[in-house]
Amino acid sequence: MADGMRETRGILRHCLFLTLTLAVVPGCAPPPDAPQASGTPRLEWAIAIQAGAGVISRSVDEANRQEHLDSLGKALAIGQRILQDGGTSLDAVEQVLIYIEDDPRFNAGRGAVYNHDGGHELDASIMDGSNHACGAVAGLTTVKNPIALARDVMEKSPHVLLAGAGAERFADEMGVERVTQEYFHTEHRLRQWQEMLRREADPDAPGTAGAVALDRHVNLAAGTSTGGLTDKRFEQIGDSPIIGAGTYADNATCAVSGTGKGEEYIRFAVGHRISALMAYGGRSLQDAAEEVILRTLREGDGGIVGVDRDGNIAMVFNTEGMFRGAADSSGRFEVAIWK
């Protein structure tokens, strides 16, 4: 009888150990077809996008507002189609960001802001939540679509982050499309920079572009692309190409893309912190995002979009607004700017 009791206690201890391990260790999660904690079915796919926080006033004219919403809708529809057709979250993230990089309304690719020397320097990163593979580039000056080169870093090099002249040489080897600095120019960004010079103001953060996605294979991905700060100096690099700060993805928890004051996102490792609150604190994506964006960061610092492994989407910001959109397999499709 005593031996039987000891054996039973041993089995119970082993089961408890396995339960706790699955609950807190990243990468150890319920099987992909398991229901959510609420008992409702997991969504087949989901995607959220952002194109900058705190970057447009409510007083903007109706035509300008609608143009931005239409652009967000077109970008979101690209990701929606890829995921509906069974494509990967990585492809959805990359193609959405290529579209936004090509859209002069946003601060990524064409339409990137001016630095202090009157040029353009672009950053981007992408991450695969299934295996923590990631790639990033910073300080690009001739690459048309930085997010595509970031994916090349992830998939075709042993590195994570390449910057400046080295990243440009890698672009030579990859054969990605190149442009002159004039390609990135827009009159709006030029006037914005000139006004900042007149005011002798500190560098300003007009936004980034980001996307997060869950695909039918239950894989998460995140990506972020930006032209950085208006009037930035000394080849400053913000959070967008920093894995764990502006971009993070882990299949056990969530995918996150941030926008805002890059130094704060780096200091607080915003993307990874949200994931850690879920993995080790048992928080939902929404709760974790609110904890970091609304209570850790300061008002006006920015926002994030995120999606968890069940398809739940969070879009949280502490600014007046954030260009954003969300779609999923339940039929949801929405774009918005302000709260």
Active site residues: 208
Sign of the C-alpha dihedral, residues 303, 260, 99, 255? Answer: negative
Nearest CA to 229 out of 207, 198, 258 is that of 207
> How far is residue 25's CA from residue 13's CA, in Å, rounded to a whole number?
18
Nearest CA to 54 out of 305, 323, 324 is that of 323
Q: In 165-246, at which residue ranges do the beta strands (DSSP E only) sit?
A: 209-214, 220-226
> How far is residue 245's CA from residue 135's CA, in Å, rounded to a whole number?
13
Residue 46 DSSP SS3: strand
**H or E segment and range at residue 47:** strand 46-53
> How far is residue 222's CA from residue 235's CA, in Å, rounded to a whole number?
25
> How far is residue 236's CA from residue 228's CA, in Å, rounded to a whole number?
8
Phi/psi at 270 (5° precision): -55, -50
- The two tokens of residue 134 are 């990631």
Nearest CA to 121 out of 105, 92, 141 is that of 141
The string over 67-98, giving b where at least 16 C-beta atoms fall within 10 Å of a residue's C-beta and e elsewhere, is: ebeebbeebbbbbbebbeeebbbbbbbbbbbb
